[in-house]
Each structure stands twice: as structure tokens, then as C-alpha cells.
Amino acid sequence: MSASDASLDAALGEPYELTAAQREQFREEGFIHLPHVLSPDALVALEPAITADTIAHDAHAGVPLEDRDTYGRAFIQVGNLWERSPQARRLTFSLRLARIASELLDTRGVRLWHDQSLYKEPSGGFTPWHADQQYWPMASGLCVTAWIPLQAVPLEMGPLAFARGSHRKRIGRDLAISDESEALIRTAVAEHGLREVTEPYAAGDVSFHLGWTLHRAGPNTTPTPRKVHTVIYMDVDMRLAKPKNAAQQLDQTTWTPSTAIGEVMNDPRNPVLYERA
């Protein structure tokens, strides 16, 4: 390991001190946007390899945006980069990030569900309203996604927008990401009086949102790709629930193939990333 890699790993392992107010805010609102989680040097070291791997595995390569559906125009999506890229593994396995996730969930630890890149191309379309957990066969709601921009994300680039407190509502929990989810959830969010919160991200900011927190993103109207890495954490004791739909069945097969229904998801693809001493 080079000195620069050792220095990066040390930085990714340093604790980020959450306040009691921040933990309470997360529980009440279902998301939190934290500043200065990663350093500019860390982003510079990590971004090129993650970007190269994302581009190399882009399922839409060569297909014009206008020839794709809404989902395909929203982003390039590549999963389990940690198995291929040492730099992606460093970020996905960051003790600093995993500890934040565990403290926000108030669990004794977290394990990995999976990571993925979500790159919104120049002129890329909006991401429809949805809740992530409708895709995941999990026995509880103790799961959280870290949304990790690899550069600053101004409003014009399509940062995440959250419906504050929506994790406490049962809105859109059976809707896949689609034009239908955008229309139906948008209407329900308004009817329930939920506030939509959209903020730009400075370089190094990271947000965390629960699996049932409703969110979307606007289009990228800039000439620069929106480069984001995400890590999905779950309670270290999370058990596999019986899949409720084809998407959950596919996720079981893909992300935790050796786990039987009712068992703790202790598959090699679901390593423990943080555990309290």
C-alpha cells in the first residue's frame, strides 16, 4: 500500500461526530444532509477510478438519451463497484461513513446491502419520486442510503430532493421508479402537506436517507456529469424477508444469494462494515 493510499484510508476511518440534534433530526425527517464528511483530497483520489468503472459498465452506452425510457434517461447505474475497484472499495468500506449510518439508525452495527454509482449525464432527465425499500426484501426499516457526490452538485445538476417526514407515511410503497410513481407520489406528497426539500451539495457533503423516505432528483441541465457514489447500509442483524415482487426476488438473488428467508443476511456480499465495540 502506498503512503497516499494509507493516508486516504486513515481519513476514511476517522470518526465524524454527530450531535444529538442531528440524530433526532434524522429520525423525525427521514434524511439528513451533512457537511464536510469527505475532504477534497479524498474526492480527487477516489473519483477517477469510480468514474472509469461506471463508464466501462454503462448499460446504455451508445444509446441516445431520447431513445431511452424515463428510468434510462435519469442516470447511469452500476452496482457492486467494490468488488471490482479498489478505490470504490475504500469508499464503500469507509468506517467513517458506516459509523454515521449505524449511529443514525441507532443499531449496534451495519452491514452492506450493496453500493452503486448513479451518474446523471449532461442533459440527463429527472429521477421520479420513489422509495428505495420497495425494491429490497428486508424484514425491517433499519436501512439507510449514503448519497455521496464526488464533486459539488448545484441545483442545476439535479441533487436529491426529499419529502420531509415521508418515511412515516405509507405513500408509494408498491411503486417502481417510473412516470407513474412521479405522478402519484407527487400528488400524495402535496395532499399530505409534506415539504419537498432540495439543497445544493458542496464538495464533501454527504446525505443519508431511510429506505422508506420518498425522494426524487431534477434533471442535469449542465454540460457536466453529476457523479455520485451510493452505499446502502442495513442493520447488522437484518433478516431476509420473503420477496413481495419480482424486483425484490431479483435483489435477493443478486445481493444476498446464499441467505434463506428468515435468516440474517450474512452472505459474503453483505460484509459487516461497522460494529460498536
| Domains of the chain (ranges, CATH numbers) | 3-256 (2.60.120.620)
Tell me: pLDDT of 154 over 90.
yes
Tell me: pLDDT of 76 over 70.
yes
pLDDT, position 5: 84
Q: What are the pLDDT digits (tens) for 233-253?
A: 999 999 999 999 999 999 999
54-63, 145-154, 200-209: the lowest-pLDDT one: 54-63
Strand pairing report for 109-119 and 272-275: antiparallel
Tell me: pLDDT of 3 over 80.
no
Residues 6 or more apart whose CB falls under 8 angstroms from that of 143 comprise 105, 113, 133, 136, 210, 211, 232, 233, 234, 235, 238
What is the mean pLDDT of the segment spanning 208-232?
A: 98
pLDDT, position 79: 96
Tell me: pLDDT of 1 over 80.
no
pLDDT, position 277: 83
Tell me: pLDDT of 4 over 90.
no
- Percent of the residues in the chain that have a pLDDT greater than 90, as a whole number: 97
Share the mean pLDDT of the chain: 96
What is the mean pLDDT of the segment spanning 203-226?
A: 98
Q: What are the pLDDT digits (tens) for 97-148?
A: 999 999 999 999 999 999 999 999 999 999 999 999 999 999 999 999 999 9
Q: What are the pLDDT digits (tens) for 168-205?
A: 999 999 999 999 999 999 999 999 999 999 999 999 99
pLDDT, position 254: 96
Q: Cα torsion for 115, 247, 54, 221, to the nearest 10°?
A: -110
Taking 3-state DSSP, the helix, strand and coil percentages for the chain, each rounded to the nearest 5, stand at: 35, 25, 40
CA dist., res. 241 & res. 261, Å (int): 6
Determine contact, residues 47/227, Cβ cutoff 8 Å.
yes
